Amino acid sequence: MGSAGHEGNAAVAAALRPTDPALLHYRSGAFYCLRAAQAAGEFPPGPPPAVPDDPTAEPATSATEPGVPAHSPAAHHEASDRAAQGATDPGVPQPPTSREQRSDLQDKGRAWQESAPPGADSYQDLTPAERRDDAADSHDVDAVLLPDGAGVTVDADGDATVGVPGLPSSSLDDAFAGAARDVLRGMVASVEEPIAGGRHKVFGRADLAVVPTTSTIASHLPRAVGLGLALERLRRGGRRLDGDPEVASWPLDAVVVCSFGDASVNHATATAAFNTAGWYDHTGLRIPVLFVCEDNGLGISVRSPEGWVAAMLRSRPGIRYFDADGTDVVASHRVAAEATAWVRRHRRPAVLHLRTVRLMGHAGADAETAYRSPAEIAADVARDPLLVTARRLVAGGYASGEELLARYDERGWQLRRIAEEVLDEPKLTTPVEVVAELAPRRPARVSRTVADAAAHAAGPGAGARAEAFGGKPPELTGPLTLAQSINAALADGMLDHPQMAVFGEDVAAKGGVYGVTKGLRDRFGVARVFDTLLDETSILGLGLGAGLAGMLPVPEIQYLAYLHNAEDQLRGEAASMRFFSRGAFRNPMVVRVAGLAYQEGFGGHFHNDNSVAVLRDVPGLVIAVPARPDDAAPMLRTCLAAARVDGAVCVFLEPIALYHTRDLHADGDGEWLAEYAEPGAWADRHVPIGRARVYGVGSADDLTIITFGNGVRMSLRAAATLAEEGVGTRVVDLRWLAPLPVADIIREASATGRVLVVDETRRSGGVGEGVLAALVDTGYVGAARRVAALDSFVPLGPAARQVLVSEEAITEGARTLLAR
């Protein structure tokens, strides 16, 4: 997929700072090259233009500000036609077109050097107004024909030249060549490619503030919104993750830019991002994000209906609308600079609609002649931004057609040479190389982080902790339920991580549907515990952006069934970030999800969802399922520490039916409650990722039951029944569904030679399949049997018992296995 026809996005890069985070789509080669030149100090950005003061500039339109006139496409085309025809405008100074005028320009350059304003080292240091006045006096620069990046320089001999971004110097050529080498390395999967290292073809580089995105259908837009919201929070006094060089740092006045195509406007993730940005703007919260829609009129072969994209983008409440002809780099730069300045000044979202063309098909072997007429293709070729720019430079007298053709040919051969060089660069050749950056685990550092948190809570932070808990910390309140233990651990996490934020539907004022986050907002304030709009894609997008900004986000998905609406934000965006950036970028996150079945008399499928296969299929994702209160707190501390240390993406799946369970064997026995550990015991009770918990019932020599979640309680009850029959059982609580505790599984299975897998998820794609596969892969030769839920959605009411695992089914399964 190439950038031909979209090269005008270089003007967008020129309007931004090289430190503004950019999330780019696949047609962003020109943007990337120009940003590389900016970062190298070779492209003169100049001060942002004060467009409202420019008599030649046209006003922008805003979907949220009625009465503001729109940019006129006709006016843009008229200005371009005047430039191409060399027409003169009495009110606008023209560029030099004759030897005499160029001689005057040289004299002007020398004079300007002698009379430059204090502190101005070059023409670039003039304000736009000063440049226009200067140009009007000497007719040296046309404010319409040249972007603000152009200017006058004088060499050692006193010869003045006009510096035009389209006619780079040799050092600028080198910067562009280096960027082109990056792009070509991505195309040939070279390990030297600077961001993905041969894993994917993406635009990205940490030192260019270009965050890699792996999709062209707008799945990165929710992250951009989240990053903008997080940057604004940090600008207003929030805290980043401290002391870790792996954590990206962004300027607090940065503008987030994200680009996408016109067809992506129709995608659900784009709609979610626009809606979230507008929703927060409507509530008064600021999000400095610039959406850039590059509209070439096609989604592969499907045409965007005439006027649809503009109508859709204009109609988004809370998002200011700007538009320009994306094939005209001068108009694009002027409007992009205005849009960027507006977003940076107001810290509010805007969309820049660039009308452009797509040349040479969609990608690969796509033959556009199958769905486009020759006349239509020829019309687009005439609007090629390279040709439009060339015509403008020739008409303005800055270069001849022969000079530009020679430069074009020279660049072509230069790129051929670079391509031949990168073809021979090494590729990834081993599985270890490929997965090295997928999800690195540093358990020793995670353990130390938990120990440090304990030491702080017991020492310097003891006073703040006592105050946060109202003088009665949870270890002094008696046995807690699962929900209470999670609540206390969240509070301790907030105390230990000032950059941690808890958010989601109903988590703040209400304290969550099940009261798990009750009281957190009152203790830590609305900036750190807040309600979101009801959209899971946006909730996860906020988390993705917050993690990228250096925060520690803990978003909540209210029910597991709701996660499936937004799963790609975890699969395609969150879990892939380290993989496709070799660790240069990461999005630490702990996603709390209330889920699994067994809620009596409540909900049906959406509130009793037992499907986790979609999560277990995501490479590198950590999935924790605490069943007992005394596991919940240490497992949550481990997830928070892993997110902070390794940038891990964790899903903390909380069994709803066990939230408020108090008893195990008999009513009133309180055996499902547990004391909350005091900080001094946190290190000793640390639960590493991928380690199971084992309960011995009776002799524990006859049978091994491997389970998790609700299955733990049912299996312990079944084991008690079997113990009365003289059967000794060891019940293994997996605790972690990814990565599975394989070593513990094999050890405990081998101890008895009989394994019963109790899987409350479905038989097809359920957790049990992974456990049995692990046993087979490691050479287990004993007996094995599985009890699992049926391949069915969970129905309402008592009918649920017909498809879910029961205590009786576990007992009968064990007896059958023992009878072999």
DSSP element (H, E) containing 291 = strand 289-295
State how beta strands 160-163 and 151-154 pair: antiparallel
Q: What percent of the chain has pLDDT over 90?
A: 63
Query: How much is the pLDDT for 278?
Result: 95
Query: How much is the pLDDT for 233?
Result: 86
Q: What is the DSSP string of 694-745?
A: EEEETT--SEEEEE-THHHHHHHHHHHHHHHTT--EEEEE--EEES--HHHH
The 3-state DSSP class for residue 365 equals coil
d(CA 796, CA 154): 81
Question: For residue 267, is pLDDT > 70?
Answer: yes
Query: How much is the pLDDT for 165?
Result: 39
Query: How much is the pLDDT for 244?
Result: 55
Query: How much is the pLDDT for 601?
Result: 64
Report residue 603's pLDDT band, with 50, 70 and 90 as the boundaries. low
536-548 helix and 268-283 helix, angle to the nearest 10 degrees: 80
Question: For residue 300, is pLDDT > 50?
Answer: yes
- Over the Cα atoms of the chain, what is R_g? 31
Lay out the sheet containing 729-733: strands in order across.
Answer: 693-697, 729-733, 703-707, 754-762, 783-789
Of the two residues 541 and 302, the one the predictor is more confident about is 541
The Cα-based distances of 190 to 101, 180, 337, 418 in angstroms read 50, 13, 35, 13
Taking phi over 0 as left and psi of -120 to 50 as alpha, with beta for the rest, 243 belongs to left
Report residue 476's pLDDT band, with 50, 70 and 90 as the boundaries. very high
Asked if 754 and 727 count as a contact pair (C-beta separation under 8 A), the reply is no
State how beta strands 693-697 and 350-355 pair: unpaired
Query: Which range, of 165-169, 355-359, 647-651, averages the lowest pLDDT?
Result: 165-169
d(CA 373, CA 325): 23
Question: For residue 115, is pLDDT > 50?
Answer: no
pLDDT averaged over the chain?
83
Query: How much is the pLDDT for 234?
Result: 85
How many Cβ atoms from other residues are within 10 Å of residue 420's Cβ? Answer: 10
Q: What percent of the chain has pLDDT over 70?
A: 82
How many Cβ atoms from other residues are within 10 Å of residue 667's Cβ? Answer: 7
d(CA 80, CA 73): 11
Report residue 44's pLDDT band, with 50, 70 and 90 as the boundaries. low
Report residue 97's pLDDT band, with 50, 70 and 90 as the boundaries. very low
Query: Which range, of 199-203, 491-495, 650-654, averages the lowest pLDDT?
Result: 199-203
The Cα-based distances of 571 to 26, 177, 621 in angstroms read 19, 34, 8
Question: For residue 216, is pLDDT > 70?
Answer: no
Question: For residue 108, is pLDDT > 60?
Answer: no
- Scored b (16 or more CB within 10 A) or e, 444-455 reads eebbebbbebbe
Q: What would the two tokens of residue 48 be?
A: 């942002």
> How confident is the model over 407-461, as pLDDT tens digits?
999 999 999 999 999 999 999 999 999 998 888 889 999 999 999 999 999 999 9
Query: Which range, of 118-132, 190-204, 709-723, averages the lowest pLDDT?
Result: 118-132
Report residue 670's pLDDT band, with 50, 70 and 90 as the boundaries. very high
Taking phi over 0 as left and psi of -120 to 50 as alpha, with beta for the rest, 591 belongs to beta
Report residue 138's pLDDT band, with 50, 70 and 90 as the boundaries. very low
607 is catalytic: yes
Q: Catalytic one among 139, 607, 660, 686?
A: 607
Question: For residue 487, is pLDDT > 50?
Answer: yes
Residues 6+ apart with CB under 8 A from 96: 102, 104, 105, 139, 140, 162, 397
DSSP element (H, E) containing 219 = none
Report residue 225's pLDDT band, with 50, 70 and 90 as the boundaries. very high
Taking the model in full, what pTM does it have?
Answer: 0.82
Question: For residue 129, is pLDDT > 50?
Answer: no
Task: Kindly state the average pLDDT of the residues 2-16.
Answer: 91
Query: How much is the pLDDT for 246?
Result: 58
Name the nearest CA neighbour of 181 among 189, 170, 193.
193
Asked if 280 and 319 count as a contact pair (C-beta separation under 8 A), the reply is no
Helices (H), 424-519: 431-435, 443-458, 462-468, 482-496
Query: How much is the pLDDT for 279?
Result: 94
443-458 helix and 482-496 helix, angle to the nearest 10 degrees: 90
Report residue 598's pLDDT band, with 50, 70 and 90 as the boundaries. confident
Instruction: Please return the burial class of 294, using the count of CB atoms within 10 Å of its CB with bins 0-12, 13-18 and 19+.
Output: buried
Report residue 677's pLDDT band, with 50, 70 and 90 as the boundaries. very high
Report residue 15's pLDDT band, with 50, 70 and 90 as the boundaries. very high
d(CA 540, CA 546): 10
d(CA 202, CA 316): 29
β-bridge partners, 501? 553
The 3-state DSSP class for residue 501 equals strand
Of the two residues 358 and 493, the one the predictor is more confident about is 493
Residues 6+ apart with CB under 8 A from 743: none
Question: For residue 145, is pLDDT > 90?
Answer: no
Question: For residue 721, is pLDDT > 90?
Answer: yes
Q: What would the two tokens of residue 535 be?
A: 């959209």
Question: For residue 733, is pLDDT > 80?
Answer: yes
Q: What is the DSSP string of 298-348?
A: EETTEEPPTTHHHHHHHT-TT-EEEEEETT-HHHHHHHHHHHHHHHHHH--
> How confident is the model over 237-259, as pLDDT tens digits?
765 555 455 566 788 899 999 99
Question: For residue 366, is pLDDT > 70?
Answer: yes
Task: Kindly state the average pLDDT of the residues 584-609.
Answer: 85
Query: How much is the pLDDT for 64?
Result: 36
Query: Which range, of 60-74, 505-519, 797-811, averages the lowest pLDDT?
Result: 60-74
Question: For residue 116, is pLDDT > 70?
Answer: no
Name the nearest CA neighbour of 679 among 518, 528, 488.
488
Query: How much is the pLDDT for 777?
Result: 95
In 331-405, the DSSP E strands lie at 350-355
Query: Which range, of 160-174, 305-319, 564-578, averages the lowest pLDDT?
Result: 160-174
d(CA 558, CA 506): 8
Asked if 223 and 543 count as a contact pair (C-beta separation under 8 A), the reply is no
d(CA 764, CA 369): 45
d(CA 190, CA 510): 52
Of the two residues 703 and 368, the one the predictor is more confident about is 703
